[in-house]
Structure 1
Amino acid sequence: MGGANQITAGFLPLLDSAVLVVAKELNFAAAEGIDLALARETSWANIRDRLAVGHFQVAHVLAPMPIACNLGLTPLVVPTIVPMALGLGGNAVTVSNALWADMVDKGARADFDPAATGRALKAVVTDRGASTSKPMLRFAVVHPYSGHNYEFRYWLAACGIDSSRDVEIVIVPPPLMLDALASGTIDGYCVGEPWNTAAALAGKGHIATVKAAIWRSSPEKVLGVSARWAEDNLDVLSALLRALCKAAEWCGNARNRGDLARILAEKSYVGRPREWLLPALEGELPDGSGDTKAVADFFVPFAKAATFPWKSHALWFYSQMVRWGQIQHSAEHARIARETYRPDLYRAALKPLGIALPVANAKVEGALTAATPVGSSGASLVLGPDGFFDGGLFDPDKLDSYIASQKL
């Protein structure tokens, strides 16, 4: 096979690497003429840097990371685009057993409700602030430019917790989260699967709430692509997008969950027990007390335009970069964030497949309170429910006023 069709993709051993893994393992990539090699990494910083220096042409990356790169916020600034998302949802917030006991005393319930759980956490934080003997709570997220960081801080702020003063937030790679929690180094974390299920099954923590409840139908990982490589190899990229789309559809089929868990459990991929992976795929999460809870749309690989790179997603992440002081807001910075996501490339590549393609590039996040048919080409498309647990709306056409309205 010619070298031009050889693609090396970096990934982290997480559930949401599934689309890339399946494209390789079930030969969706090979059927499109792509020789796809997957390189397992240990941290998002490694993924970022190896994509920047050309070791990877594409990678499984945090949805805000390419935006941060294009805004000059990363050590190696190399233009990066996002022509495809890799699914919706998949994260959760897990706390130590000791913290959960304190939260239960303040009214928390084992139902993953972000509002009630947040009120309980707020009460615990308030007591900690008034105490001279108890240290400030410390939480971990996986990277400064991650959906985890922004959604976690959004949740805290909406519940009255100042994430810059009331708690401490540190960076820990996903594979180290459970050990950090078990050792008492941190009091909780926001991370992707299987690390929430792992803590609950091992009796080391309790799942407090889930991303699918904090921001419903929200993006998680995306395909980060070297902009220069994409420009020089547009046909190859298009073939890869078709392969990934077919893999995403396979991953989203409920009949394939057992096989998907088995594939991901292999040592070269997630490398963790199948029993850690199935709960998230089935939307039945252990809570840490021996019970399981059903979570609608916990991880969505294909339905609801889950692989579409919405510009409104990019701009919401940008708004949070501004909110938390990572960059100053300007029209040029907003333009860079908006143009990082490339629905034009997505449509051009996938139109031959006849799948549902949204006719819009952006949408009001939080506008759909129920599953709703929307305009599309190809197959029919249903989106929603979506939106933020506190009832907030994000209209990308009103970016300036949204940024101005946010409280630290």
Structure 2
Amino acid sequence: MTSDRFRIGFLPLVDAALPILAHEMGFAAREGVQIELVRDMTWATVRDRLLYGHTDAAHMIAPLAIATTLGRDRPPLPLAVPFVLGLNGNAVTFSTALAAEAGLGSALGDPTEVGAALRMIAAARKATGKPLRFGVVHRYSSHNYMLRYWLAGVGIQPDVDVEIVVTSPPFAADALAAGEVDGICVGEPWNSIAVDRGVGHIALATAQIWRRGVEKVLVTRAAVLDERRDAVEALIRALHAAAAHFVAPDSVEASADILARREYLDAPRDAVLRAITDRIRVVPGGEPLHYPDFMFQYREAANFPWRSQAAWLYSQMVRWDYMPYDRVQADAAANVFRPDIYRSALAGSGAPLPGASSKLEGGLGEPIGAGSTQGRLTLGIDRFFDGRAFDPDDIETYLADLP
């Protein structure tokens, strides 16, 4: 089998696991693919390397792929997402001072109850002229949208009642320690590192805000996908095999060893292992708590790029960029996600392949069987904390009903 080389950009986060493990564990080589991993510290750099051809693909926050395609903040360049690297896996972490003021305990809080306490604190701080400030990893990140969705849902108006600024994930704990921000919404292991350093207290997992929220994705330039279709499909098969390996209970120790290495996350192994095994240390010195599906990498066709998830991200872009809804842009956003490529790559593999490419998001209160063209597919609970559901065919009504 001939080898095809992919330079893949990534940030030091646990959810960069699949390309790293595909390389380290031989899944890529088995598919005739060579992976060279390029580590960066900011999402803007990951994006720019991809746009200018310094990398062939990237581990990327999903909204940034959409924003880049639509030309938000820069000239548009079409990107494609043929594979989702994971759902959830982030947390909202308060400074220890803010956590004490909000009365947080040693367990994860309830989004509505934590929100009610935070609303009072935010109002008081705003009245002093020094509003609360939260750090997110990029303007066009699921972290930003999850945080804003929760804040607005509990009566706190982002950009009015609180400030939201950008901080790179590896420096988020430093920003908390320096008092530059009162809270952060980042991926692991950086929430856990903030807690272990004694400067943070995890208030919520983002899975409590949206139970199956799309997170990191594999992104290529659309032109690369067209030119190297067979090689991209081989890469998808390698990543899918890595995902199955990553969630196997007997693999977690070895995966933590690999990911913690200096060339990848350069992070404490224990913090990495906790994230992989859905265990969260909420308070400094506390015992880790088990929160099922804190990270979600494989079951329920978790790697399938649902166009409806891209459409939800677009709805939040409209909402928080304070811009009008545009049907053409909505379609372009949904088209960034490429379920057709995913299906083609995994046809004949036995992996469950959803029959639909879009679905109602947030509508499942219990697991159900779903239609598939291959394999048996069950979809689990995917609720938003406020009970709303998102219909990708009626984005305008959805936006009009939001607080």
Q: What TM-score do you get using the length of structure 2 for normalisation?
A: 0.97
Paired residue total: 402
**Could you tell me how far 1:283 is from its partner in structure 2?**
1.2
- Match of 1:353, SS? coil
Measure the CA separation in 2 of the matches of 1:237 and 1:111. 39
1:121 partnered with 2:118: yes
Equivalent residue runs for 1:297-376 within 5 Å: 297-325=293-321, 327-376=323-372
Deviations 1:132-154 (A, max 9, x none): 3x721111000010000001000
The correspondence for 1:179, drawn from 150, 161, 174, is: 174
Offset from partner CA, 1:281-305 (integer Å, 9 cap, x none): 1111001141332212100110121
> Does the alignment pair 1:195 with 2:185?
no
List gaps (5 residues or longer) in structure 2.
none
For residue 296 of structure 1, give the secondary structure of its aligned residue in structure 2: coil
CA RMSD of aligned residues (A): 1.5
After TM superposition, list the pairs within 5 Å mapping 1:124-273 onto structure 2.
Answer: 124-130=121-127, 132=128, 135-273=130-268
Relative distance call for 1:265 and 1:108 in structure 2 (3 A) is: closer
Contact 1:68 1:145 in 2 (8 A): yes
Equivalence for 1:36: 35
**Which whole-Å CA distance do the structure 2 matches of 1:2 and 1:382 have between them?**
36
C-alpha deviations, 1:75-96, integer Å up to 9, x for none?
3532100001001110000010
1:323 Cα offset (Å):
0.4
Say which SS state the counterpart of residue 83 (structure 2) adopts: strand
Does the 8 Å contact 1:82/1:341 carry over to 2? yes
Q: 1:398 aligns with which of 394, 398, 401?
A: 394
Matched residue type, 2:376: S
Contact 1:214 1:388 in 2 (8 A): yes
For the pair 1:18 / 2:20, whether they are aligned, the reply is no
**Cα distance in structure 2, aligned partners of 1:58 and 1:316:** 23
User: SS of 1:161's equivalent?
Assistant: coil
Deviations 1:113-138 (A, max 9, x none): 212111111121122234x3x72111
Question: Hey, what's the Cα distance between the residues in 1 that align with 2:117 and 2:287?
Answer: 20
**DSSP 3-state at the match of 2:58:** strand
SS in 2 for 1:170: strand
Cα distance in 1 between the residues matched to 2:358 and 2:40: 32
Please state how far the C-alpha of 1:326 moved relative to its aligned partner. 5.5
User: Does the 8 A contact of 1:28 with 1:243 survive in 2?
Assistant: yes
Query: How high is the TM-score relative to the length of structure 1?
Result: 0.96
Identity of aligned residues (%): 45
Q: What is the aligned partner in structure 2 of residue 58 from structure 1? A: 57
Where 1:83 maps in the other structure, the secondary structure is strand
Residues 57 and 226, structure 1, Cα contact 8 Å, conserved in 2: yes
Contact 2:108–2:205, Cα closer than 8 Å, also in 1: no
Task: Give the letter aligned to residue 111 of structure 2.
Answer: P
- Determine helix, strand or coil for the equivalent of 1:144: coil
Structure 1 distance, partners of 2:106, 2:124, is 19
Q: Is the 8 A contact 1:148 1:191 kept in 2?
A: yes
After superposition, give the CA deviation of every residue in 1:350-398 in whole Å (9 maximum; x if it has no partner). Answer: 1121101111101111111112221113221111110200101101111
Kept in 2: contact 1:150–1:320 (CA 8 A): yes
1:327, distance to aligned residue in structure 2 (A): 4.1
Spell out structure 1 runs of 4+ moving beyond 6 A.
none
Sort the Cα spacing of 1:240 and 1:74 in 2 relative to 1 into closer, same or farther, 3 A.
Answer: farther
